[in-house]
Amino acid sequence: MSFFNSISIRIPLAFIGGIFYGFITYQIFLLLDLSSQTAIGTGLLVFFLYLGSRLLVLFSGIDTPYYSKERKGSPYENTAFYQTAQWVGKFYHYHDAVLFIFLTLIAIVFLISLVLDWAGSNPFGKTIRGLFQLLSPIPQ
More confident residue, 51 or 58: 51
Measure Cα distances from 60 to 4, 50, 65 in Å.
18, 15, 13
Alpha carbon distance 66, 5 (integer Å): 7
Give CA separation, 75 vs 32, 49, 55, 72, 79, in Å: 47, 26, 20, 10, 9
In angstroms, the CA 91 to CA 47 distance is 18
Mean model confidence pLDDT for the chain = 82
What pLDDT score does 1 carry? 43
pTM here is 0.63
Residue 107, CA distances (Å) to 18, 19, 49, 97 in order: 19, 17, 27, 15
- Domain boundary assignment for the chain: 3-135
pLDDT tens, 5-40? 677 878 888 898 899 899 999 998 988 888 999 999
- pLDDT score, position 138: 66
Reported for 137-140, long-range contacts at CB under 8 A and 24+ positions apart, including other chains, are 138/31
Q: What whole-number percentage of the chain has pLDDT above 70?
A: 86
Q: In whole angstroms, give the CA distance from residue 125 to residue 113.
A: 7
